[in-house]
């Protein structure tokens, strides 16, 4: 499918925007991944997780991040910032993020319980930046599964921690080239695989399951069902990433009002391209 038919900004700047986005091969990749299927609910029957288990899985993400990622890197981090600490916690909502408190000299990583629930179903997982990163950058052989998504989430947030320590976290370009160098490195070095293996082996000890079957793919109707007017979204490829707010949900697309660098522009974005903004 040609990019032009997927993405139709309806402002004066449309030609400029469309030609920039066409130069990336990213959308054509996604179109093969998100092939349509006609049955819906039957696919998701075994893919739910209770809020209580989601919280327990969140604690597993916390301990795995601390043991597999933080401990080996701690010496390097404290050479640069002596005495720094890491605190991981499980949040109630979707929000999943890294913060640094200079006063306490403490990094904190929050894993949202509702993010963990969302990553149990292909239709709700598709909206997250981690899905896009796994597909687009070939992490874990480009396979989307709950296990891969959650292991990758630990790496994504820890990459922000390392990015902060390296002084490469800049306002307005958080997911920048330096960030992806660090994230690529976490995967290439085997650290991401260690996170995955540790979580896979530890989950049963807590009576938890972390499905590793690759997801089947969702139709645009299923993908659209997760969006609401007012949701903050991103779309586009690395170099031409756009951000905005969902203004209207159409039959196969969302109308998005641009924010930040895209302020004043409106886009009609296919469901498969929309990503929930993860920070
Ligand atoms: Zn991020």
- Output 94 or 273, whichever has higher pLDDT: 94
Of the two residues 40 and 247, the one the predictor is more confident about is 247
Give the CA distances from residue 131 to residues 11, 17, 81, 149, 262, in Å, rounded to whole numbers and listed in that order: 29, 24, 32, 7, 23
Give 71 Cα–ligand 1 centroid separation in angstroms: 21
**pLDDT number for residue 97:** 95
Nearest partner of 120 among 23, 210, 245, judged by Cα: 210
Degrees to nearest 5, angle at CA 185 with 179 and 190:
140
**Centre of ligand 1 from the C-alpha of residue 157, in Å:** 6
CA of 18 to the centre of ligand 1 (A): 25
116 C-alpha to center of ligand 1: Å? Answer: 16
Q: Compute φ and ψ for 276, nearest 5 degrees.
A: -70, 140
DSSP 8-state assignment for residue 216: P
Domain assignments of the chain as residue spans, ordered by start: 3-34+219-276, 47-206
Question: What DSSP character marks residue 214?
Answer: P
pLDDT band at 23 (very low <50, low <70, confident <90, very high): very low
Q: Which residue has the higher pLDDT, 22 or 81?
A: 81
Q: Please state which CATH class domain 3-34+219-276 belongs to.
A: mainly beta
Give long-range contacts, CB 8 A cutoff, 24+ apart: 166-173.
172/260
Residues 146 and 135: their CA atoms lie apart, in Å, by: 14
């Amino acid at each position: 499918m040609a990019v032009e038919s997927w993405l139709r900004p309806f402002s004066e700047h449309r030609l400029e925007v469309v030609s920039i986005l066409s130069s990336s091969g990213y959308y054509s990749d996604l179109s093969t991944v998100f092939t349509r299927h006609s049955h819906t609910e039957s696919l998701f029957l075994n893919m739910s997780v209770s809020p209580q288990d989601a919280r327990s899985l969140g604690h597993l993400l916390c301990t795995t991040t601390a043991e597999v990622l933080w401990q080996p890197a701690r010496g390097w981090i404290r050479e640069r910032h002596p005495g720094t600490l890491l605190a991981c916690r499980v949040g109630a909502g979707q929000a999943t993020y890294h913060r640094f408190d200079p006063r306490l000299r403490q990094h904190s990583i929050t894993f949202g319980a509702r993010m963990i629930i969302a990553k149990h179903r292909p239709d709700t997982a598709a909206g997250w930046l981690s899905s896009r990163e796994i597909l687009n950058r070939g992490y874990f052989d480009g396979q989307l599964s709950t296990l891969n998504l959650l292991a990758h989430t630990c790496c994504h947030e820890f990459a922000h921690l390392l990015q902060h320590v390296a002084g490469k976290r800049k306002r307005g370009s958080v997911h920048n080239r330096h960030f992806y160098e660090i994230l690529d490195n976490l995967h290439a070095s085997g650290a991401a695989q260690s996170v995955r293996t540790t979580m896979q082996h530890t989950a049963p000890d807590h009576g938890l399951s972390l499905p590793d079957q690759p997801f089947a793919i969702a139709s645009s109707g299923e993908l659209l069902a997760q969006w609401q007017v007012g949701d903050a979204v991103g779309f586009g490829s690395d170099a031409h990433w756009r951000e905005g707010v969902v203004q209207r949900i159409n039959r196969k697309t969302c109308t998005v009002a641009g924010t930040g660098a895209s302020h004043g522009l409106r886009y009609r974005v296919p469901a498969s391209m929309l990503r929930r903004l993860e920070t």
